[in-house]
């Protein structure tokens, strides 16, 4: 079909227009549409980031629970793919009805991809930072042994949507409970993942302080990164001379910093198990 025979409400080239000029106008229209699509996609991505990092993965949990890497992967693919499809499919020569259907399909695919990605981020969100006698563990929603949720204290029977709880794990009682705990542990389900063993962290603060080591020990060991770590402590208002630390089971090497009362003051990206 020649350019002169194209009909459509949004494309009416002047009679005798050079083919190169027509192609240039169509390319400009494609770039314009793809640019607007990219702008809208970035706005949606920013709103999604506010949800993910403001509620589900606050503060250091974006790193300790792996949320930042997963979110960036999901959103980057979604933000890039949508505008690229628009760049390929947008052609003013199609006419508005045809073009509208193409754009609707692209938008539906992009929204479906974003929804799936956010759902994936949601189901692995951190729901607790749990004290386990000699260490802490980041517990994700996917880790929780949900059949025991109703066995948890009332305040822990519904997983949080606004950031992880700080809680502790009680020891298994002698007898059948301890035997079952060992059996579940061999299957990969630790007591910190079983709501029936959860208890408020306030009941275990003294135990955490007793198990923790002086923070200066960690800072002296990480001499090459001391300035970086001390800045994190200063921003959190932590006095290294009185603070203590415990290791964290998380994504990467992390330590929990406890203040003099046993409350969690901040987190440091340093291996606390050494």
Summary mean pLDDT of the chain: 87
pTM value > 0.75: yes
The yes-or-no verdict on residue 227 having pLDDT over 90 is yes
- In terms of domains, do 104 and 27 share one? yes
Please tell me whether residues 216 and 190 are part of one structural domain.
no
Reported as a single tens digit per residue, the pLDDT across 7-44 is 444 444 444 545 554 567 777 888 888 888 889 889 98
Distances (CA, A) of 211 to 22, 245, 247: 75, 9, 10
- Tell me the C-alpha to C-alpha distance, in Å, between residue 216 and each of 1, 86, 210, 212, 248: 78, 56, 16, 12, 17
- In angstroms and rounded to an integer, the radius of gyration of the C-alpha atoms of the chain is 27
Q: What is the per-residue pLDDT for 232? A: 95
Among 123, 138, 164, identify where a domain stops. Answer: 123
Which among 99, 123, 147 is the end of a domain? 123
Indicate if 39 and 97 belong to the same structural domain. Answer: yes
Question: pLDDT per residue over 81-123, tens digit each?
Answer: 888 888 888 777 777 788 888 888 888 988 888 898 899 899 9
Question: Which sign, positive or negative, has the C-alpha torsion 221, 222, 224, 229?
Answer: negative
CB 162 within 8 A of CB 59: no
Instruction: Say if residue 160 is in the same domain as residue 268.
Output: no
Note down the domain range covering 34: 3-123
**The predicted structure's pLDDT at residue 4:** 38
**Separation between Cα atoms, residue 40 and residue 111, nearest integer Å:** 12
CA distance 244 to 250: 19
Cα-based angle 26, 29, 34 (whole degrees, multiple of 5): 130
8-12, 54-58, 72-76, 229-233: segment of lowest average pLDDT: 8-12
pLDDT tens for each residue of 174-200 = 889 899 999 988 988 999 999 999 999
Question: What integer pLDDT is reported at residue 18 of this predicted model?
Answer: 56
Q: Are 245 and 268 in contact (CB under 8 A)?
A: yes
Do 265 and 153 belong to one domain?
Answer: no
Instruction: Judge if 166 and 108 occupy the same domain.
Output: no
Tell me: do 21 and 133 sit in the same domain: no
Q: Is the pLDDT of residue 211 over 60?
A: yes
Asked whether the beta carbons of 113 and 189 are under 8 A apart, the reply is no
Average pLDDT over residues 249-266: 94
Out of 207, 230, 255, a domain closes at 207
Q: Which residues contact 114 (CB under 8 A, 6 or more apart)?
A: 44, 48, 74, 75, 78
Total structural domains within the chain: 3
Co-location of 117 and 158 in the same domain: no
Same domain, 233 and 167: no
Whether residue 129 contacts residue 137, with contact meaning beta carbons closer than 8 Å, is answered with: yes
Q: Dig out the tokens for 119 from the structure.
A: 């759902």
222: pLDDT strictly greater than 90? yes
Question: Looking at the structure, do residues 30 and 57 belong to the same domain, yes or no?
Answer: yes
Whether residue 169 is found in the same domain as residue 86: no
- pLDDT at residue 133 in the model: 92
Show Cβ contacts of residue 208 under 8 Å, excluding neighbours closer than 6 positions: 131, 168, 201, 246, 258, 262
Contact 76, 67 (CB under 8 A): no
My answer on whether 52 and 155 are in the same domain is no
């Amino acid at each position: 079909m020649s350019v002169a025979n194209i009909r459509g409400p949004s494309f009416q080239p002047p009679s005798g227009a050079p083919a190169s000029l027509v192609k240039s106008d169509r390319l400009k229209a494609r770039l314009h549409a793809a640019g607007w699509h990219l702008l809208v996609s970035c706005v949606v991505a920013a709103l999604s980031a506010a949800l993910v990092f403001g509620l589900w993965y606050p503060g250091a949990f974006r790193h300790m629970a792996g949320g930042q890497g997963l979110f960036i992967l999901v959103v980057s693919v979604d933000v890039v793919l949508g505008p690229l499809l628009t760049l390929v499919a947008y052609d003013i020569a199609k006419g508005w009805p045809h073009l509208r259907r193409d754009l609707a399909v692209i938008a539906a695919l992009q929204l479906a991809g974003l929804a799936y990605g956010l759902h994936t981020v949601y189901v692995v969100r951190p729901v607790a930072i749990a004290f386990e006698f000699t260490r802490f563990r980041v517990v994700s929603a996917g880790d929780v042994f949900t059949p025991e949720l109703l066995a948890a204290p009332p305040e822990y029977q519904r997983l949080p949507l606004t950031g992880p709880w700080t809680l502790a794990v009680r020891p298994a009682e002698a007898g059948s409970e301890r035997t079952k705990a060992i059996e579940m542990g061999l299957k990969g389900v630790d007591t910190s993942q079983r709501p029936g063993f959860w208890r408020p962290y306030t009941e275990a603060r003294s135990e955490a302080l007793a198990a923790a080591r002086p923070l200066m020990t960690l800072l002296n060991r990480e001499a090459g990164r001391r300035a970086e770590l001390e800045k994190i402590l200063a921003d959190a208002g932590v006095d290294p001379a009185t603070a203590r630390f415990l290791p964290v089971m998380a994504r990467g090497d992390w330590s929990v910093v406890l203040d003099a009362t046993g409350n969690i003051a901040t987190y440091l990206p340093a291996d606390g198990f050494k």
